[in-house]
Amino acid sequence: MQPACPCDLKGDTPLDGKEHVFLSMAEAIDAIRTDFYQYPPQRRLFMDLCPLILGPDITIADDPRCQCMWISRPGRTRKNRMLRITARELGHTLITALENAPPSTEVIAEICRKTFQTRAEVAGNDKGGKTGILIETDMQGFACRQCGRCCQVLDYRHELSAADYRHWQLLGRNDILERVATIRHGSRIVSYAVWVEPGTRRFSETCPWLLPAAPNHGSGRWLCRIHEVKPGICRQYPGTRKHAQMTGCAGFGD
């Protein structure tokens, strides 16, 4: 299943009319990590980011014959002294280097521009005065087609938030709560899983809240039976234009 999580861009300032989000430096790096790992290896992106993250002395060469790449050690450019690396390994190398030695905010902004395929600028957060990255979500023109694809194809089983769970408790929505599995460490709930068959730990084969729309609503459309209180992972999807494109969302189509 494909990832449903739209948290490429999840900061401490909500989206406003200009459709952007502010990320602290730590949040920006975490968002980049999420992007690297939630999709199939992004070979071309990883190669483009090598000079920014690993430095200009690093050489990276694509080798279509073996479906891999060759990467140099600092100061070495001859291919027979280069190391063979897969796209997945390169992504891991990049995020590890980024976390161990974060570059300047200007470089992080450029990495965000390339990674999220949208505008990203160094900015200050009005709330705390801290410096971070302001990123456009590029969601102009998005309109949900109610095709039901995200509900049926994407993997959101472990993306339920504690806030959603508490909200349903306050509303007394036991019909929803009985389809949520709680994962505990001792007596403490540490995470949640959706959607399960009531009274079991078995996941439902499909979303239990998905309902085909009546013919007068249009062919191929689906409705959500808990639309007004559906979890954040559903409300936020797709989050960014790139996430929509990478997960097959038709919300930007004609």
- 73 versus 48: which is more confidently predicted? 48
pLDDT (0 to 100) of residue 127: 62
Q: Give pLDDT tens digits for 52-103.
A: 999 988 899 998 888 899 998 765 545 557 899 999 999 999 999 999 999 9
CA angle 30, 33, 156 (to 5 degrees): 90
With a cut of 80, say whether residue 33 has pLDDT above it.
Answer: yes
Ranges of each domain in the chain? 2-136, 149-237
Q: CA end-to-end span of the chain, whole Å?
A: 26
Q: Give pLDDT tens digits for 135-152.
A: 998 888 899 999 999 999
Nearest 5°: phi and psi at 98?
A: -65, -40
Q: How does the average pLDDT of the chain come out, rounded?
A: 88
With a cut of 90, say whether residue 184 has pLDDT above it.
Answer: yes
pLDDT (0 to 100) of residue 43: 94
Give me the torsion for CA of 245, 59, 26, 40, rounded to 10°.
Answer: 30
- Please enumerate in sequence order all residues whose Cβ is within 8 A of that of 179, keeping only pairs 6 or more positions apart, or say none: 194, 195, 196, 197, 198, 204, 208
Compute the average pLDDT of residues 177-184. Answer: 96
Q: Give pLDDT tens digits for 190-199.
A: 999 999 999 9
Q: Give pLDDT tens digits for 199-238.
A: 999 999 999 999 999 877 667 899 999 999 999 999 989 9
pLDDT (0 to 100) of residue 126: 55
Report percent pLDDT > 90 for the chain.
Answer: 69
What is the CB-side half-sphere exposure of residue 119 using CA atoms within 13 A?
A: 10
Q: Give pLDDT tens digits for 164-174.
A: 999 999 999 99
Compute the average pLDDT of residues 179-198. Answer: 94
